[in-house]
Amino acid sequence: MSLFSAKFLRFTFYVVRPTSYALLILILIGCRPVSTWRWERAEAGVPRQAIVLSVAVDPANPDLLWAGYYAPGGLAASRDAGQTWTAVAQGLRDNPVFDLLVLPGNQLWAATRDGLLESADGGATWRIASGNLPQAAAFALAADAAGRLYVGFDGAGLYGREPGERGWTPLTHEESMTHAAILSLAVSPDGTHLYAGSAGQGLFASHDTGRTWTTAFPGDYVPNLAPHPAEPETAVASLRDRLVRTRDGGGAWELLPVPWARDEVVALLWLANSQAGADGELWAGSGQGQVYLSRDEGDSWFKAGASLPAEGGVLSLALANSWLPGGPPRLLAGAWTGVYAMEDGGQDWTYLTSTLGAPQASALLAANGSLLLGTRTGLFSWQPAAQRWAGLPTVQGTDYPTSDGPPPEGVTALAVASSDEQVIYAGTASGRLYRSPDGGATWPRVTSDLEIGTRALAVAPDDADHLYLLAAWERMYESLDGGQSWQARWTGLRVTSEAISLAIDPAHPARIYLGTDTGLYRSHYQGADWRPVGRPLDDQTVLTLATRAAPSAGGAPSILFIGATRGAYRSFDAGASVEPWGRGLEGVSVTAFLFDLQQSQVVYAGTAYGGLYRSLDGGETWQPIGPAELGGEIVEAMAWGPNGELFVASPEGVWIGRD
């Protein structure tokens, strides 16, 4: 069965997360004073979106579709072939659904963060599966024609269940598999060959239903597997940017030629098809939103249909309707932006889930009296009179798509030039960069020699064309010409460090601070000479950084404010030493800061899974102020609205707060 690229989950491990959302809520309710803040949702005009990890079709009803996605209670059903969707949450609690298995007789299985869940009534209600299963996240599911079930866990290996039994048996007797994170599973239709892909432990194969195993490609991630529908000993596995094939049940593997470069194949699906002959049809979905098809067992490939929209990386593939006499089959793709369908022989994808999921907001920017919002579905501007968001064309001269059309590329970072506030930059997860020269009225694309997913942007305070970019899952780059050309600025950083946050000293523009998943770094020369500072932060992820000019003159460094996985900190000496910033945020993961425009002593802190906090005394003490719905979410950004409202953005929504 299919699974996701493991990268997107990594942020959840950067923060201090409670063992239970319910426990967190009880703790916060017990310690919070009654807040005078009034909160309301502010999402009108923004399409919703879901990161769909698994798509499944009911074997008895091709119009009944299931989508498992990465959100609390992340399961939805459509009973009209994808025209409308209904969230299914009873018994799922706050679980994202990583994989789905739909079996005859209304039997459904879901691999979730809390383990394996089962439903015996067609998904109406769910419960934790009984049996001697480990208490760990379940990532992958598979079943053979005889009814044997298999489930792979995070750090706990693989378990199987025989038909008609209730108990589960561990199948990972090999030492390398016992504590492996099983990302993908596949079983031949006759059940004779079983394959398991792991997160860094390699690829495993068994020809005796899991009693003994062979291992290949140790150290590799294996996000997906596909068995041949008619040849039990033949299967294909994805090693992210490579495909390998076995013809002897996993004893030997060969590298397959592929037409893609600098891309990862995450989804695989092998189908029997009379038109394709004995070899069937092998489909591969890539992280760049392209789907490829092979009719000769992977020896040659061609693109199948148009690419999904930017940020539409394919995470799961399924087929619907192929068993209906005379009915055209539909290829279903679960992607970062929802569920898509392509009719047999078609070239275009139909977007099915414009109402499913959440806004997936990631960036806010107040500039020139207006407020901009970046989400996975594009760029928006707040309209105060209408109290809603209006979509902006990301490329000059193009029309913004309608709400029921495919979503455009997601905007992950926004930055304004303080030396010329008409210049605004928008970075995207697909690697494209846009530069507005007129305060956001138009957004021409920057022709750039670097196209890499953007985590954050910052503009030098003395030059609107001097730009810094944090690459997603990577490090930092510098541009002196408005983003047209870039230089890597990595000297002094750990090879394995990932850049998370960035700040520039406004009093000393050459001094830059970089927060990573391994602590805090500082450069005195525009990123050319990184050195670790703030030693108490070495074992934390620095989630956000902010600077303010020091009250004293004489060239003193600006005050540095640091949000990390275990609280808020500040430094008065350019990061050489750091100290906890006040009381009330100890042990809380701080993800964003915002300073009051009128009162210098009033500061706001956004958190992961703790909502918003406010300090009225310059950060000496902090108190939570809501909203209650953010108790289980990550605050990505905060900004002031045109009328002084406090806007808060998170993947699950956008809020307006008034005191």
- For residues 407 and 484, what is the distance between their CA atoms, to the nearest angstrom? 26
Instruction: Compare 70 and 615 and report the one with higher pLDDT.
Output: 615
Output the pLDDT for position 408: 58
Q: What is the mean pLDDT of the chain?
A: 87
3 state SS of 467: strand
pLDDT band at 26 (very low <50, low <70, confident <90, very high): very low
Res 35: pLDDT? 53
What is the per-residue pLDDT for 279?
A: 81
A 10 A CB-CB count for 275 gives 7
Task: List, in order, residues 6 or more apart from 31 with CB less than 8 Å away.
Answer: 624
- pLDDT value, residue 326: 57
Most confident range (mean pLDDT) of 22-26, 192-196, 210-214 is 192-196
> Alpha-carbon distance 318 to 163, whole Å?
24
Is the pLDDT at 11 greater than 80? The verdict is: no
pLDDT score, position 633? 87
Q: Quick one: which of 179, 188, 109, 110 has its CA closest to 144?
A: 188
pLDDT of residue 9: 39
At 431, is the pLDDT very low, low, confident or very high (cuts 50, 70, 90)?
confident
Strand (E) or helix (H) holding 22: helix 21-31
- For the ranges 131-140, 153-162, 235-244, 396-405, the lowest mean pLDDT is seen at 396-405
* Amino acid (one-letter) located at 530: W
Q: What is the DSSP string of 221-247?
A: B--EEEE-SS-TT-EEEE-BS-EEEES
The predicted model gives 177-201 an average pLDDT of 93
Token code pair at residue 320: 């619907």
3-state SS class at 360: coil
pLDDT at 345: 62
Residue 175 pLDDT > 90: no
Q: Is the pLDDT of residue 485 over 80?
A: yes
* Contact (CB, 8 A) for 42 and 655: yes
Task: Between 47 and 572, name the one with better pLDDT.
Answer: 572
Residue 531: the pLDDT is 96
Residue tagged 């806010």 (tokens): 364
Please write the tens of the pLDDT for every residue from 93-105: 888 999 999 998 8
Q: pLDDT per residue over 372-396, tens digit each?
A: 999 988 899 999 999 999 988 754 4
Closest CA to 562 of 550, 549, 574: 574
Beta strands in 360-451 (DSSP E): 361-367, 370-375, 378-383, 388-392, 411-417, 420-428, 433-436
CA angle (632, 638, 642) in 5-degree steps: 135
d(CA 53, CA 76): 12
**In the prediction, which pLDDT does 94 show?**
82
- pLDDT at position 399 over 50: no
Eight-state DSSP code of residue 602: -
Mean pLDDT over residues 223-239, rounded? 94
pLDDT at site 344: 66
Tell me the percentage of the chain whose pLDDT exceeds 70: 88
pLDDT attached to residue 586 = 95
**Of 178 and 514, which is predicted with more confidence?**
514
Residue-level pLDDT at 29:
32
Residue 18 — very low, low, confident or very high, per pLDDT cuts 50/70/90? Answer: very low
Average pLDDT (186-192) is 91
d(CA 233, CA 194): 10
- Using the predicted structure, report yes or no on whether residue 268 has a pLDDT greater than 90: yes
Q: Please give the structure tokens belonging to residue 185.
A: 């599973």
Q: Where do we find the tokens 């923004």?
A: 46
Q: Which range among 71-80, 329-338, 406-415, 438-447 shows the weakest confidence by mean pLDDT?
A: 406-415
pTM for the complete prediction? 0.75
**Which run of H or E residues covers position 28?**
helix 21-31
The average pLDDT across 355-363 equals: 88
Q: 501: Cβ–Cβ under 8 A, 6 or more apart, which residues? A: 456, 470, 514, 515, 542, 543, 544, 545, 563
pLDDT at 185 exceeding the cut of 50: yes
Each residue's pLDDT tens digit, 125-158:
999 998 889 999 999 999 998 899 999 999 999 9
For the CA atoms of 14, 15, 19, 21, what is the dihedral angle to 10 degrees?
A: -130
**Band of residue 508 on the pLDDT scale cut at 50, 70, 90:** very high
- The strand order across the sheet containing 338-343 reads 314-320, 330-335, 338-343, 350-351
Mean pLDDT of 228-234: 92
Q: pLDDT, tens digit, for every residue of 278-332? A: 788 999 999 888 899 999 999 999 888 777 765 668 999 999 864 445 566 789 9
Could you tell me what percentage of the chain is helix, strand and coil, using 3-state DSSP and rounding each to the nearest 5?
A: 5, 45, 50
Reply yes or no on whether the pLDDT at 33 is more than 80.
no
Q: What is the pLDDT at residue 402?
A: 39
pLDDT for residue 168: 94
Cβ contact 339:356 at 8 Å: yes
**CA atoms of 172 and 294, how far apart (whole Å):** 32
526 band by pLDDT with thresholds 50, 70 and 90 = very high
In this predicted structure, the answer to whether residue 5 has a pLDDT above a threshold of 70 is no
392: nearest Cα among 374, 415, 366: 374
Closest to 622 in 3D by CA, of 590, 577, 578: 590
163 DSSP 8-state letter: T
- The residues near 21 (Cβ < 8 Å, ≥ 6 apart) are 72, 93, 94, 609, 631, 632
- Name the least confident of 293-297, 333-337, 401-405, 637-641: 401-405
- Say yes or no to pLDDT of 262 above 90: no
What pLDDT is attached to residue 618? 94
- pLDDT tens sequence across 619-647: 999 999 988 888 778 999 999 999 999 99
